[in-house]
Amino acid sequence: MQTENAIMPELDLKSPIEITGSEAVMKALVAEDVEIIFGYPGGAIMPIYDALYNYRDQLEHILVRHEQGGVHAAQGYARTSGKIGTVFATSGPGATNLVTGLADALIDSTPLVCITGQVFAHLLGTDAFQEIDVINITTPVTKWNYQITDAHEIPAILAKAYYIAGSGRPGPVLIDITKNAQVQKFDFTGYNRCNHIRSYRPKPIVRKEYVVSAADMINNAVRPLVIFGQGVILGRAEKEFTSFIEKAGLPAAWTILGLSALPTEHPLNVGMLGMHGNYGPNVLTNECDVLIAVGMRFDDRVTGRLDRYAKQAKVIHLDIDPAEIDKNVKADIPVWGDCKETLPLITELLKKNSHTSWVNKFNECMDKEIEVVIQDELNPSTPILTMGEVIKELNLLTNGEAVIVTDVGQHQMVACRYAKFNKSNSSITSGGLGTMGFALPAAIGAKYGAKDRTVIAVIGDGGVQMTIQELGTIMQNNINVKIMILNNQFLGMVRQWQELFLERRYSFVDIESPDYVTVAKGYRIEGNSVTERSALREAIKKMLDHDGAYLLEVMVGKENNVFPMVPQGSGVGEIRLK
């Protein structure tokens, strides 16, 4: 794409000043209102770090312990703050260590700008020390990437990077800057933020005829069901969404990335979709007559087998990304556009309605799920602690006001199922990629994005060992995050599948852990370990009340399973309660 005509005048200097490419990077970050950078220095990015030294009063930098931790921290920051996360890394292994986080951010639509250093331009292609073709490596996992070899390009390219990352459907952008471009001097004429790029349309044009058709279909529906995802949060359309469902009395179910867009206790919130979602939303998806999808992409973990998914329903799909329309589920009415704009247009045309008997069917399904699953999970009769009762106690002590950052595994599904939220941007997790090791660094970033809120990382004993070195980042920066490890001494989700579908052939899922409290102590972080129910509430309270970071390990049942469950290869109507 060409950059001509892409940059709108904003802050032009009266006369050019001679600066280095590295200082131009700093001026760009300040102009883009960047608050914080997560990064790790190295040889190829050293000139940028040298320039950063003079901008310490304007740009806060957090030294992570691994570049993957830097990306996940930036993701957590972006998800709680609603801003664009910024990451620095050096060339070679520094750059390749970003790849998992970039892939995670792309599939979960998280806006990031990652700036990597690169070897001198004349060394490109020579297999120089720590040279890697980061552009080709990251092309599949970025919304856009670009390599700068001349300092003159830096202002315009970084303006373009921040615009692309944050506009439309957000995503990660990577800018690779060769070392010669970092040290090169050029005449800097000012930095102008970008708000338009020819051939790039971040928001599709709303077609009013589809809005009218969608409203008519909803008005005539007998059994409508809304399923919503993170698009509501990314569009900052929580109020518009609530007005939409309340006017027409529409039951609404959420994907794990949509969690917290609607308060958990809202009477029209009927629960979680998908493999470990609630019984009602899954079963009744195949009974609704109109299915309204808002800001979600019909992921396979939500739909199960597509040939058995909502075949009886007319489908209305609202999404900002036209590529998601008809990708997995055919839409009878596609409503392209930002849901903050399209939802009010539809709501205005809706008739006031309640659908009381239909909503009651979800309540009846929940009663059945409580009887078969939830009662034993939240109020177990055995002395063995369950993950669910830990989350229940957390709810009682946080009143749904905390930010909960989850890793990937059984604890993730349990936390998503049972955690209570009153505010949006409160549930932070790795959804599409399912990245173990996400939670600890993401919680660091989440705290910087929500400084006045309690941030709790809920992690399994497998995932925490993947990025446990980020305890050093917490230690050095005195970051007040609470770390709760639910330790079942297994790679629990894999073990559950092996139990249910592979005749309990437990192949390499029995994982040993260090003494986490002792490890935390080594990082000057207070901690405790709990094995008894009688000590659980007080231990969680102590963690929450502690002034500073705190690690709490809770020993839970080794072979407890997460139900309900839609077995892989099954339809959502085949969900198992036990």
Domain 385-559 falls under CATH 3.40.50.970:
yes
Q: Give the integer Cα–Cα distance in Å for 558 and 553.
A: 14
Mean pLDDT of the chain: 95
Q: Give the integer Cα–Cα distance in Å for 236 and 262.
A: 12
Half-sphere exposure of residue 307: CA atoms within 13 angstroms, side-chain side: 2
Active site residue 341: no
Q: Give the integer Cα–Cα distance in Å for 415 and 386.
A: 12
Instruction: Give me the mean pLDDT over the 117-125 stretch.
Output: 97
Percent of residues in the chain assigned helix, strand, coil, to nearest 5: 40, 20, 40
Of the chain, the end-to-end C-alpha distance in Å amounts to 53
User: Token pair for residue 87?
Assistant: 């990451």
Show the beta-strand stretches assigned E in 256-345. 269-272, 290-294, 314-319, 333-336
Structure confidence at residue 350 as a pLDDT band (50, 70, 90): very high
Ranges for all domains in the chain classified under CATH 3.40.50.1220? 208-362
Structure confidence at residue 12 as a pLDDT band (50, 70, 90): low
Closest CA to 157 of 125, 187, 192: 192
Q: Give the integer Cα–Cα distance in Å for 465 and 460.
A: 9
Residue 9 has pLDDT above 80, yes or no: no
Q: Buried (b) or exposed (e) across 405-415, using 16+ Cβ within 10 A?
A: bbbbbbbbbbb
- pLDDT single digits (tens) 517-529: 999 999 999 999 9
Q: Give the integer Cα–Cα distance in Å for 422 and 425.
A: 10
Half-sphere exposure of residue 378: CA atoms within 13 angstroms, side-chain side: 17
Active site residue 371: no
pLDDT value of residue 541: 98
Contact 448, 530 (CB under 8 A): no
Element holding 24 (H helix, E strand): helix 21-31
Question: Is the pLDDT higher at 147 or at 11?
Answer: 147
Domain 12-190 falls under CATH 3.30.360.10:
no
Catalytic residue (one of 27, 143, 179, 482): 179
103: CB partners within 8 A, 6+ apart? 140, 141, 433
- pLDDT single digits (tens) 13-64: 668 999 999 999 999 999 999 999 999 999 999 999 999 999 999 999 999 9
Catalytic residue (one of 387, 413, 493, 565): 493
Active site residue 188: no
- Using DSSP's 3-state secondary structure scheme, residue 534 falls into helix
160: CB partners within 8 A, 6+ apart? 3, 6, 7, 144, 146, 194, 197
Reported pTM: 0.95
- Using DSSP's 3-state secondary structure scheme, residue 36 falls into strand
pLDDT value of residue 13: 66
**Region of residue 425 (phi > 0: left; psi between -120 and 50: alpha; otherwise: beta):** left
User: Token pair for residue 133?
Assistant: 């073709």
- pLDDT single digits (tens) 459-518: 999 999 999 999 999 999 999 999 999 999 999 899 998 999 999 999 999 999 999 999
Distances (CA, A) of 135 to 114, 146, 517, 539: 12, 7, 41, 48
pLDDT value of residue 3: 38
Contact 451, 83 (CB under 8 A): no
Q: Give the integer Cα–Cα distance in Å for 117 and 42.
A: 8
Show the beta-strand stretches assigned E in 152-221. 172-178, 185-190
User: Token pair for residue 51?
Assistant: 């320039």
Phi, psi of 240 (to 5 degrees): -65, -40
Residue 280 has pLDDT above 60, yes or no: yes
pLDDT value of residue 568: 85
| The one-letter amino acid at 427 | S
Torsion 102-105-109-111 (CA) sign: negative
Residue 374 has pLDDT above 60, yes or no: yes
Instruction: Give me the mean pLDDT over the 223-246 stretch.
Output: 98
pLDDT value of residue 57: 95
Catalytic residue (one of 130, 499, 526, 542): 130
- pLDDT single digits (tens) 549-572: 999 999 999 999 999 999 988 999
Catalytic residue (one of 8, 10, 58, 129): 129
**Region of residue 101 (phi > 0: left; psi between -120 and 50: alpha; otherwise: beta):** alpha
Residue 504, Cβ density class (10 Å: 0-12 exposed, 13-18 middle, ≥19 buried): exposed
Q: Give the integer Cα–Cα distance in Å for 335 and 226.
A: 14
Q: Buried (b) or exposed (e) across 154-165, using 16+ Cβ within 10 A?
A: bbbbbbbbbbbb
Active site residue 75: no
DSSP H helical segments within 186-237, as ranges?
208-219, 231-234
In the CATH hierarchy, which fold is given to the domain comprising 208-362? Rossmann fold (3.40.50)
Residue 327 has pLDDT above 80, yes or no: yes
DSSP H helical segments within 502-569, as ranges?
516-522, 533-545
Residue 10 has pLDDT above 90, yes or no: no
Ranges for all domains in the chain classified under CATH 3.40.50.970? 12-190, 385-559
Contact 347, 243 (CB under 8 A): yes
Active site residue 493: yes
